[in-house]
Amino acid sequence: MKPSNYTILLVDDDVDYLFQTRIKLEKCGYKIITAESQREAEKIIEKLRPDLAIIDLMMENEDSGFILSYKMKKKYPDVPVIIATGVAAETGITFDISDENNRKWIRADSFLEKGIKSEILYNEIAKLLPKL
């Protein structure tokens, strides 16, 4: 499928990050829907099934991204979720979803630290989206 056939839900409370990432992904041809909070994103996923979601970890609460990812996977188990966060830089805490125990409670397909180079993000999206 061409990028224009995919809809990505982008969720982040940092409006500058949201804007910059949206522009980058739209230039690649993706349709982007944005939400500035977990609550706003939950309303969107009630009405719309995105093809992929990129979710910030810390929004209204420190675990908003985990909660939203869990809800997304419960409603749409086959939708890939990328959690993009700056938590390691802020707290020193890192998460590893390659570990089976962590995958049980971190309901995400990928975990990327903010400051993500565009090429890495594009490659991760391409890896997670289904091919024709």
* The predicted structure's pLDDT at residue 86: 62
* The predicted structure's pLDDT at residue 88: 46
Per DSSP, what are the bridge partners of residue 32?
A: 8
Dihedral class, residue 115 (left if φ above 0, else alpha if ψ from -120 to 50, else beta): left
* The predicted structure's pLDDT at residue 89: 47
CATH code of the domain covering residue 112: 3.40.50.2300
Say what the pTM is.
Answer: 0.84
Specify the number of domains making up the chain: 1
* The predicted structure's pLDDT at residue 54: 96
Please, how many CA atoms are within 13 Å of residue 118, restricted to the half-sphere of its CB?
10
* The predicted structure's pLDDT at residue 57: 85
Question: Please, which residues have CB within 8 angstroms of residue 18's CB and are 6 or more apart in sequence?
Answer: 10, 12, 34, 36
85: nearest Cα among 74, 77, 93, 76: 93
Domain with 75 in it:
3-128
Spans of the chain, pLDDT less than 50: 88-89, 91-92, 102, 132
Query: Which amino acid is it at 75?
Result: K
* The predicted structure's pLDDT at residue 85: 79
